[in-house]
Chains A and B, each alone.
Chain A
Amino acid sequence: MNLEDWYRQDRLPHIYCPGCGNGTVLNCTLRAVQELGFKQEETTFISGIGCSSRASGYTSSDSLHTTHGRALAFATGVKLVKPHQHVIVFTGDGDCSAIGGNHFIHACRRNIDLTVVCINNNIYGMTGGQGSPCTPYGAITTTTPYGMHEQPFDLCKLAEAAGANYVARWTSYHVKELTEAIHAGLEVPGLSFIEVMTQCPTSFGSKNKMRLATQMIDMFRENAVLKVKADRDTAAGKPLEPGKFIVGEFVRRHNPPLGVEESK
Chain B
Amino acid sequence: MDKTDFLNGNVACAEGAIAAGCRFFAGYPITPSTEIAERMAARLPKIGGTFVQMEDELASVAAIIGGSWAGARTMTATSGPGFSLMMENIGYAAMTETPIVIINVQRGGPSTGQPTKAAQGDMLQCRYGSHGDYSIIALSPSSVQEMFDLTVRAFNLADRFRTPVFLMADETIGHMREKVSLHSDVEIIPRRELKEGELPCAPDENGVPGFGTFGNGHNIHITGLTHSENGYPSTDSAEVHEQLIRRQVGKIEDFRNEIADVDIVNPDAEYIFISYGAPTRTVRQLMADVPETYGHLNLRIVWPFPDESLLAFKNAKAFIIPEMNLGQIAKEVRQYTNIPIVTVPKLGGALHTPAELKKAADVAKTVTKPMTEVRL
Contacts and interface: CB of A to CB of B under 8 A. Distances in A.
A81 B225 contact: no
Interface string B100-117: 000000000000000000
26 contacts: A44-B214, A57-B223, A57-B233, A62-B212, A64-B214, A65-B222, A65-B224, A66-B62, A66-B65, A73-B58, A73-B66, A74-B62, A75-B66, A76-B52, A76-B59, A77-B62, A77-B74, A79-B66, A80-B67, A81-B67, A81-B71, A81-B74, A85-B214, A102-B55, A103-B58, A106-B54
Given A62-B219, A82-B215, A103 B224 contact: no
A73 to B, nearest CB: 3
Given A73-B54, A82-B71, A63 B59 contact: no
Contacts of A66: 62, 65, 92, 224
B232 interface: yes
A84 B364 CA distance: 62
Range class of the A interface residue count: 20 to 34
A241 interface: no
A64 B66 contact: yes
B166 to A, nearest CB: 19
B193 interface: no
A53 B230 CA distance: 19
Contact of A64 (B23, B52, B69): B69
A106 B59 contact: yes
B56 interface: yes
A120 interface: no
A142 interface: no
A244 B67 CA distance: 41
Interface string A102-117: 1100100000000000
A41 B70 contact: no
Contact of B219 (A57, A61, A102, A106): A61
Which of A11, A44, A70, A103 is packed against the most chain B CB atoms within 10 Å?
Answer: A70
Contacts of A41: 215-217, 219
Contacts of A196: none
B376 to A, nearest CB: 42
Given A61-B219, A77-B74, A67 B92 contact: yes
B215 A76 contact: no
B215 A74 contact: no
B220 interface: yes
Interface residues of B, number: 41
Contact of B24 (A8, A57, A77): A77
Given A80-B52, A81-B70, A74 B219 contact: no
A40 B59 contact: no
A39 B214 CA distance: 13
A111 to B, nearest CB: 13
A216 interface: no
Interface string B49-90: 010101110111011111111111010000000000000110
A167 interface: no
A2 to B, nearest CB: 15
A103 B220 contact: no
Given A70-B59, A76-B52, A56 B224 contact: no
Report whether over half of chain B's contact residues are helix, strand or loop; otherwise say mixed. mixed
Contacts of A44: 214-215
Interface string B192-230: 000000000000000000001011111111111100000
Given A65-B223, A80-B24, 8 more contacts: A11-B232, A62-B215, A66-B62, A67-B224, A70-B59, A74-B63, A79-B66, A106-B55
A190 to B, nearest CB: 16
A91 interface: no
Contacts of A103: 55, 58-59, 62
Nearest to B216: A41
Given A40-B217, A85-B215, A78 B70 contact: yes
Contacts of B66: 46, 64, 73-79, 81
A118 B187 CA distance: 44
B67 A77 contact: yes
A42 interface: yes
Interface in A77-103: 77-82, 85, 102-103
Given A44-B214, A75-B66, A80 B224 contact: no
A85 B67 CA distance: 12
Contacts of A75: 66
B324 interface: no
Contacts of A106: 54-55, 59
Nearest to A75: B66
A63 B200 CA distance: 12
Nearest to A65: B223
A199 interface: no
Nearest to B95: A67
A85 B70 contact: yes
A60 interface: yes
Contacts of B361: none
What 10 pairs across the A-B complex have the smallest Cβ distances?
A: A77-B66, A73-B62, A77-B63, A81-B70, A73-B59, A77-B67, A65-B223, A74-B66, A78-B66, A106-B55
